[in-house]
A and B are shown apart, each in its own frame.
Chain A
Amino acid sequence: DAMVIQNPRYQVTQFGKPVTLSCSQTLNHNVMYWYQQKSSQAPKLLFHYYDKDFNNEADTPDNFQSRRPNTSFCFLDIRSPGLGDAAMYLCATSTRNSGANVLTFGAGSRLTVL
């Protein structure tokens, strides 16, 4: 089945130690998104790629970066994780339409910061 795969599902890191989360898709969608979801909160969009065009949300901290080397893969890099960055990170994909995009989500990567 076509899907969105996130690795690792669980990541434990130390305060300030860089971490990379990965996302791959077999849907051939041209848009890929990264959302941050803290406990008992709604997902919050960090940034997205439309093909190779990177779009950063205005309030996404500089500590968060992303790479999309090809259509299938996208990475979330957290340069110096703080305790407040502990969250579930959700990758999603879609095609891009003028009206609305239907997002397909991966299972998420849960980040713990010690």
Chain B
Amino acid sequence: AQSVTQPDIHITVSEGASLELRCNYSYGATPYLFWYVQSPGQGLQLLLKYFSGDTLVQGIKGFEAEFKRSQSSFNLRKPSVHWSDAAEYFCAVPTYSGGGADGLTFGKGTHLIIQP
């Protein structure tokens, strides 16, 4: 089964600084990969996804992620963070049954703190 690991539980970044959140996946073939963001008390919003093709994926809110097969990684980046980026970030992979894809399995999340 596919799985993802987010090594960093908390990340603190100064406003205006660059950001990189790490995600490592475990899967033999080319995986499908997602990043979701969750603001406090809210549901999850899709930032971006990788299915195939260009390994650098652009998302919403100025985020991008790069798929690196050699490192089994799909790290999320943003060149300059804003205070509104403070949230929980989840990396995810599909869950499969015999009939096809059935939902997503999430990593444990990375809590992003923005300091002034």
Q: Which of A6, A45, A100 contacts B101 (CB 8 A)?
A: A100
- The minimal Cβ–Cβ distance linking B1 to chain A, given in whole angstroms, is 13
**CB of B41 closer than 8 Å to a CB of A:** yes
Known contacts A90-B43, A108-B43, A99 near B32 by CB under 8 Å: yes
Residues of A within 8 A of B32 (CB): 99-100
A106 at the interface (CB under 8 A from B): yes
Chain A nearest CB: distance from B73 CB in Å?
18
Contact (Cβ within 8 A) B43 A99? no
Cβ B101 vs Cβ A48 within 8 A: no
| Chain A hits for B109, CB < 8 A | 40-42
Residues of B within 8 A of A92 (CB): 43-44, 103
Neighbour of A110 across the interface among B41, B46, B104, B108, CB < 8 A: B41
Question: Quick check: is B84 within 8 A (CB to CB) of the other chain?
Answer: no
- Contacts A90-B44, A107-B42, A107-B43: A96 and B49 contacting too (C-beta < 8 A)? no
- Given A99-B51, A100-B51, A101-B94, the answer on whether A106 and B43 have CB atoms closer than 8 Å is yes
Residue of A nearest to B4 (CB): A42
A96 touches B41 (CB 8 A): no
Please judge, given known A-B contacts A48-B103, A101-B101, A101-B103, whether A41 and B44 are in contact too, CB under 8 Å: no
**Least CB separation from A43: chain B residue:** B106
Give the secondary structure class of B's interface. strand
Q: List 22 A-B contacts (CB under 8 A).
A: A31-B102, A41-B108, A43-B90, A50-B99, A92-B44, A94-B103, A96-B101, A99-B32, A100-B32, A100-B49, A100-B51, A100-B101, A102-B49, A103-B46, A103-B103, A104-B46, A105-B36, A105-B45, A106-B43, A107-B42, A108-B41, A110-B41
A72-114 vs B: 1/0 string, CB under 8 Å? Answer: 0000000000000000001010101111111111111010000
- Near B by CB (< 8 A), chain A positions 32-73 give 33, 40-43, 45, 48, 50, 55
Q: Looking at the assembled complex, report how far the CB atom of A33 sits from the nearest CB atom of chain B, in whole angstroms.
A: 5
- Starting from the known contacts A96-B101, A99-B32, A106-B43, 15 additional A-B residue pairs (CB-CB under 8 Å) come to A31-B103, A41-B108, A43-B44, A45-B104, A90-B44, A94-B103, A99-B51, A100-B34, A100-B49, A103-B44, A103-B104, A104-B46, A105-B36, A105-B44, A110-B41
